[in-house]
Amino acid sequence: MELSAKHREYWRRNLALTGVLLAIWFVVTFVLGYFAIPLAEVNFFGWPLSFYMAAQGSLIIYVLIIWFYARRMGKLDQEYDVAEGD
Amino acid sequence: MAATSQQTFNQQLKKYYAFYTGGFILFVILLAIAEQMGLPRKAIGYVFLFATIGLYAGIGVMSRTADIAEYYVAGRRVPAFFNGMATGADWMSAASFIGMAGGLYVAGFDGLAFIMGWTGGYVLVALLLAPYLRKFGQFTIPDFLGARYDGNFPRAVGMFAAILASFVYVVAQIYGVGLITSRFTGVEFGIGVFLGLAGILVCSFLGGMRAVTWTQVAQYIILIIAYMIPVVWLSLNITGVPVPQAVYGKVLERVTEREKQLTADPVEQQVRDIFKQRAEAVDAKLKDLQASYDSDKAALAKKLDDLKASAVPEPEILAAQTALDDFPKNLDAYQAKLTVDKATATAKSAPPKPHATPFPGKDEHARDVARRNFLALVFCLMVGTAALPHILMRYYTTPSVSEARKSVFWSLFFIFLLYFTAPALAVLVKFEIYTNVVGLHFDHLPAWVQSWSQVDKTLLSIVDVNGDGILQLPELTLGQDIVVLATPEIAGLPYVISGLVAAGGLAAALSTADGLLLTIANALSHDLYYKMLDPSASTQRRVTISKVLLLFVALIAAYVTSLKPGNILFLVSAAFSIAAAAFFPALVLGIFWKRATKWGAVVGMVVGLGVCLYYMVTRYPFFGINAAKWWEIDPISSAIFGVPAGFIAIVVVSLITPQPKRQLQELVEHVRYPHLRGDIDTRAT
C-alpha cells in the first residue's frame, strides 16, 4: 500500500528518537569507557567514578533508555494512528 | 473481547506465580527446620535437585501442547512482564550465575566488560530489533531472513549460523548442569549431565516454547531469590546495611587500602619472591625439556622406592604412587603442564591486582592494549546479545508490538537485578578474604576455608609456602566458582542456603539450555524441514518432527559435553561472536535499509561469519596456530572484525545488485509500523 506523508513522518520521528538514544548509549558505553583512567580519580560515594559507571551507573541508564523508548513509541503510535487495535 | 481475556490471563498468571513464590519460600523454610532437626547435608542437596527438576517437569506436563503456534511461540500471548522474566532466565546462564562474581573477583575493573556488555546489548535489541521482529511475527529468526531476503538461500545461511552459535552455547550450559549436579549430590559428572538433561527434555519436549516460557519464569524466581539472600546477608554482616549495591563503594575503598598494605608487607613480599624463584625454576626446565622430563620422572620413581624401602604409613606410599602415575606421559603433555605451572607461579609472584583501577598495566602501552580489549569485548558482547536467536525469538511470543517493546524493558530490568549485584558480591567477598582470612594463623582460619579446602582442591587450597604458620595472600588459591558457592557459609548461613544457591545455579543453566535446544530444534524442523523440504507437511507432523529433533539434538549436545571440550568462557564468548557477526548486520539492515538485497545479505553473513571464525581459529591458543593478533585484540573479541566486515559486504554487494522487488520493500514498510490499515499480514499460523 501507499504510505501517507503522516506515515513517513512517524518513521522519521522514530529514527530521530532511535538515533538520540543510541548516541546516549554510545557515549555512556564507549566514551566513558575510553576515559576510564582519568575518571577513576573522581570519588563517587566511595567508588572511583569509572568503576561505578561500569558496574552500575551505565546499567541504570540502559534500563532507562529502553523504558523511555517503549513509553515514547507507545505515544507516537497513538498520535499517528498506527497503534494495534486489539 | 480479546483485550479482556488477555487481561484476565495476566491476572491469573500473577496469582499463580505469587502462590508459587510463597510456596517455594515455605519449602526452603521447612528444609531449614529439617536441617536443624538433623537432616544430613547430602539429603538437602538431593531434595533440592529432585524437587526443582520435578517442579519444572510438572510445569512441562501441565503446558504440554501439540498446537503449532503454542509449540513455537507460546501462542503469542505472553505478557511483557512475564516474557521479561522468562527472557531473564533464558539469558542468565550458569556462567552468569555461578561464574560471574568470581570472574569479577579475579579481574577487578576489567571484568566489568561482561557486566556492561551483557546488559547494554538490550538497548540494541529494544531500539533496532525486537519491535520489528514482533510485527513480522513468524516463528524463527531465519524466517525473517528468508522472507526479507527472498529465498531459501539466506534462510539456510541464517539457519546454519543459528545452529552453530546455539550449539556452542548449549554445550557450555550442559557442562554447567553436570558440574552443579555432581558437586551437590556427589554423582559422577556424566550422570549429572544426563540427569539435568532429563529435566530439560521433559519440559521442552512436551510443550515447546509454551512449556519453556512458563518454566523459565519459575526458574527466574528461584535463581534471583537464591542469588540475593546470601549477598544481602553478607552485606548486613560487613556493612550493617542490607542493600549491598548501595553501600559497597565504602567496602571497595577498604579493599583498595588493604591491597596497598599487602603490597608493602615484607612477609607477603617474601612469599611472592618464593613464587618468583619457582617460576624461574620452571622456566629453566622448559628450556631443557627432555633432560628435565627424565630427571623429574626418575626423582618421582626414586622417591617411591625409598618410601617402600622404609617403614612409612600406607597413605604416603599411595600418594607417591599416584604422583608417579599422574606424571605426564609424553613431552607435549609435560610442556603443557610446565607452562601452566609457570603461569600460576608468575601470577602469584605479583602483588595483588588493584580491584578498582581501570586497565592496570606495567606501562602506557600495556594499559592502552588493556583498554582496547576492554572496549572491543564490550562491543562484541553487546552486539552478540542483540543477535542470539534464542533471545530474539522470545520477542515473537508477546501479544503485540508495544508489548514487545515493554517486554525488552522488563527483560533488562530482571537481568539488571542480578548484574548490578554481582560486582558488589565480588567486592564483599574480596574484603572478607583480604581481612578475615589472609594474615591469620593456619589454625584460626574460618571454618568455611577449612571445609572447602577439603571438598575440592581446585576451588580452594591453602599451602604454607614459607612455613611461618600464617596465611599470606599468594598461599591461597581460589577457583572462580567458589565466590558464589561459598558465600552462604562466609555469611554464616545454614547449609540449606548453600543448597538453594545450587538450585539457583541449576535453574540458570537449565533455563538457558532449554531455550537454546528449542532454537536448534526449531531451526531444523521449521526452517529446514517445513520451509525447504516439505512445505505441505501437516501441522501435526511438523510438531512431531520438531519433538523428535529436539531429542536428538539434546543427546548429541550431551555427548559432546561429556567429552569436556575447551573452557566454558571461551565457548560462551565464541557463541556471542558467531551470532554477532552472522546475524546483526543482516537483521538491522533488513529493517532499516530497503535497498539491502538478497545477495548482499548472503555475502554479508558469510563474510562476517568467515572473518570471525578465521580470527578465532588462527589466534585462539586451543587451536595451536597462534598467528600475530591484529591491533593486539584477543580472539575472544573476534566479532569486532566480523561485524564491520559483514556491514561493508552487505552495503557493497547490495549496491551492485539490482534493488529488491517491490513486494519486499513493502514487507520492510510493513514491519516498521505496528499497524497499517489495509496492510498485508505476515503473521504465521
* pLDDT tens, residue by residue, B220-244: 999 999 999 899 988 888 888 888 8
User: What mean pLDDT, rounded, does chain B reach?
Assistant: 85
Closest listed residue to residue B644, CA positions, set B584, B579, B573? B584
Q: Do A83 and B676 touch (CB under 8 A)?
A: no
Phi, psi of B349 (to 5 degrees): -85, -5
Q: Percentage of chain B with pLDDT > 70?
A: 97
Shortest distance between the Cα of A21 and any Cα of chain B, in A, equals 8
How sure is the predictor about B2, in pLDDT bands with cuts at 50, 70 and 90?
low
Q: With H, G, I as helix, E, B as strand and everything else as coil, classify residue B276.
A: helix
Q: Do A48 and B356 touch (CB under 8 A)?
A: yes
For the stretch B330-358, pLDDT in tens is: 878 888 888 888 888 888 888 888 888 88
Closest listed residue to residue B260, CA positions, set B353, B348, B370? B353
Number of H helices and E strands in chain B, helices first, is 28, 2
Residue type, B595: R
Least confident of B282-286, B528-532, B603-607: B528-532
Does residue B447 surpass a pLDDT of 60? yes
Q: With H, G, I as helix, E, B as strand and everything else as coil, classify residue B441.
A: strand
pLDDT at B116: 94
Q: Do B112 and A37 touch (CB under 8 A)?
A: no
Give the span between the Cα atoms of B433 and B462, in whole angstroms.
13
Give the span between the Cα atoms of B365 and B232, in whole angstroms.
40
Does residue A84 surpass a pLDDT of 90? no
How sure is the predictor about B399, in pLDDT bands with cuts at 50, 70 and 90?
confident
User: Which of A17, A59, A72 would best serve as a mutation to test chain B binding (most B beta carbons within 10 A)?
Assistant: A59
For the stretch B565-586, pLDDT in tens is: 666 667 778 888 889 999 999 9
Chain A residue closest in CA terms to B368: A34
B369 and chain A in contact, CB less than 8 A:
no
Give the span between the Cα atoms of B628 and B615, in whole angstroms.
10
ipTM above 0.90, yes or no: yes
**Chain A residues inside the 8 Å CB shell of B252:** 46-47, 51
Q: Do A70 and B405 touch (CB under 8 A)?
A: yes
Helix axes B2-36, B80-91, angle to 10 degrees: 50
Of B374 and B625, the structure prediction assigns the larger pLDDT to B374
Does residue B1 surpass a pLDDT of 50? no
Average of per-residue pLDDT across A36-49:
85
Average of per-residue pLDDT across B73-86:
86
Residue for grid cell 593478533: B629
pLDDT at B526: 81
Average of per-residue pLDDT across B501-507:
87
Q: And the C-alpha cell for B240?
A: 550493617
Does residue B650 surpass a pLDDT of 50? yes
For the stretch B168-224, pLDDT in tens is: 888 888 888 887 777 777 777 778 788 778 777 877 777 888 888 888 999 999 999
For the stretch B108-151, pLDDT in tens is: 899 999 999 999 999 999 999 999 998 888 888 888 888 888 88
Q: And the C-alpha cell for B127?
A: 531500539
Residue B573 CA from chain centroid, whole number: 9
Does residue B646 surpass a pLDDT of 90? yes
pLDDT at A1: 59
**Chain A residues inside the 8 Å CB shell of B401:** 77, 84
How sure is the predictor about B684, in pLDDT bands with cuts at 50, 70 and 90?
low
Pairing, β A47-48 against β A43-44: antiparallel
Give the span between the Cα atoms of B205 and B546, in whole angstroms.
9
Does residue A15 surpass a pLDDT of 90? yes
pLDDT at B326: 81
Of B186 and B374, the structure prediction assigns the larger pLDDT to B374
Rounded (5°) CA angle B520-B376-A59: 80
Task: List all residues 6 or more positions away from B563 whose beta carbon is below 8 Å from its beta carbon.
Answer: none
Instruction: Give the number of other Cβ atoms within 10 Å of residue A49's Cβ.
Output: 19
Shortest distance between the Cα of B200 and any Cα of chain A, in A, equals 30
Residues B156/B532, Cβ–Cβ less than 8 Å: yes
Does residue B564 surpass a pLDDT of 70? no
CA distances from B283 to B73, B280, B335, B613 (A): 57, 5, 10, 33
Q: Do A29 and B382 touch (CB under 8 A)?
A: yes
Average of per-residue pLDDT across B276-287:
87
B residues 392-451 closer than 8 Å to A (CB): 400-402, 405-406, 408-409, 412-413, 416, 419-420, 423-424
pLDDT at B397: 86
Q: Which DSSP string corresponds to B468-482?
A: SSB--GGGEEE-TTH
Give the span between the Cα atoms of B522 and B533, in whole angstroms.
14
pLDDT at B652: 94
**Chain B residues inside the 8 Å CB shell of A22:** 123, 127
Chain A / chain B CB contacts < 8 angstroms:
151
Q: Do A77 and B674 touch (CB under 8 A)?
A: yes
How sure is the predictor about B608, in pLDDT bands with cuts at 50, 70 and 90?
very high
**Chain B residues inside the 8 Å CB shell of A36:** 109, 358-359, 371, 374
Query: Within 13 Å and on the Cβ side, how many CA atoms surround B366?
Result: 5
**Chain B residues inside the 8 Å CB shell of A52:** 249
Does residue B627 surpass a pLDDT of 90? no
